Amino acid sequence: MALTFNQRVKLKVTRQFVVVGVLLGIVYIFFVWGFSDLWHYINGIVIGFTIGLLIAILELFVFSRGAKKLRFIWLLTLRTFIYFTLITLIIFNVVVISRLFLWDTSYFEVLADERFYKDYLIEGDFSVAVVYTLILAFVINFIRMISRKMGQGMMLSFIQGTYYAPVHQARIFMFVNVVGSKKILHDLGPLKLHGFLNDLFYDFTVPVVTNRGVIYEYIEDLVVITWALDKGIRNANCIRTYFDIKETINSNKEEYLNKYGFIPQIQAGLHTGSVVRAEIGEVKTQIVFHGDTMNTTSRILEKCSELNIDLLASDQLIRMIGLPRIYGKKTMGEIDLRGKQDRLKLFEVIDKVD
């Protein structure tokens, strides 16, 4: 049976966590023990593999949809406690089991052995490992949560001062909005509408990140997604993102029907061009994009509603992308865009599988 898009993504993320965990385990053992006994490296590989798998499970299944409903301080405390407890248990048990085989004895006999409880637990490295794990768990979770709040890559950009001075960039932009948002607001009311948009935009996250995109901002029912030119063109990532989002929504359609009584529909406009990227503001600083490319993408999105088309892309972008066979394109000709003197050639992009 073929894996769904979400399952493929989760498998890929799990593999990445496990590989990084194993590599870090090997590096840690090398710096602590050098080229000593092989069993130290076996311990490091097993601990790294297990912790990597654990983190993947926590991030993909525990700290996902439900966790976003917790306040920052409570979520940080909860995550730190869970990470600290489980990682400590992993280290403890791997060390016990390794000695079980080395000493050819039982689990409980290892615990009762003076070489373990005195030399390792009391006078050895275990207490240091516990303190180190607690600090590491807190720092990792704090940085990860702050980084997620600021946006993809924003924390590092602020620290490095990458955009302290304005920078010209060639970017791809996709403006995505919800079809019939005014009716949805009327039917749900403002509070429930927020819950709906929160659930919907959460479903955008994995497809965007997987396809190397960045969520730039949310404006009411509109999401602005952007790519560096090479990342968006490669494998038609900017096109794939839209259809992967639709697939994710479709996989969660029962939940939408049960909670809100309908399945959301989305439309998107795609365009590329040069923009200026820079920090702006002092009390509240943001890294923003300026340029006509943003305005043009917004006007392309307007045409989606007028022409009743799901995805429209500019000729400028389509000429750069080698569309995969699963997608097709249909020329809409040169079209007038509101506020633009020159007409722009647009293409409708469709999923042939549909």
Per residue in 149-178, pLDDT tens?
666 666 666 666 666 677 788 999 999 999
pLDDT tens digits, one per residue of 307-327 = 999 999 999 999 999 888 889
To the question of pTM greater than 0.75 for the whole model, the response is no
Q: Is 190 in the same domain as 310?
A: yes
- Average pLDDT score over residue span 118-122: 71
CATH number at 318 reads 3.30.70.1230
Give yes or no: residues 236 and 322 share one domain.
yes
In this prediction, residues 82-97 reach a mean pLDDT of 85
Name the 3-class secondary structure at 288. strand
Label residue 258 by pLDDT band (50, 70, 90).
very high
Within this chain, do residues 181 and 141 fall inside the same structural domain, yes or no? no
Q: 18 and 52 in contact (C-beta within 8 Å)? A: yes
Looking at the structure, tell me whether residues 258 and 288 fall in a common domain: yes
Residue where one domain finishes, among candidates 100, 130, 150:
150
Count Cβ neighbours within 10 Å for each residue of 33-65 and write b for 16 or more, e otherwise: eeeeeeebbebbbbbbbbbbbbbbebbbeebee
Q: Are residues 146 and 182 in the same domain?
A: no
Number of structural domains in the chain? 2
The answer to whether residues 309 and 184 belong to one domain is yes
Verify that 139 and 159 share a domain, yes or no. Answer: no
Residue 120 backbone class (left: φ over 0; alpha: ψ -120 to 50; beta: rest): alpha
Residue 239 domain boundaries? 154-351
Query: 182 and 212: one domain?
Result: yes
Decide which of 130, 150, 170 is a domain's last residue. Answer: 150
195 and 122 within one domain: no
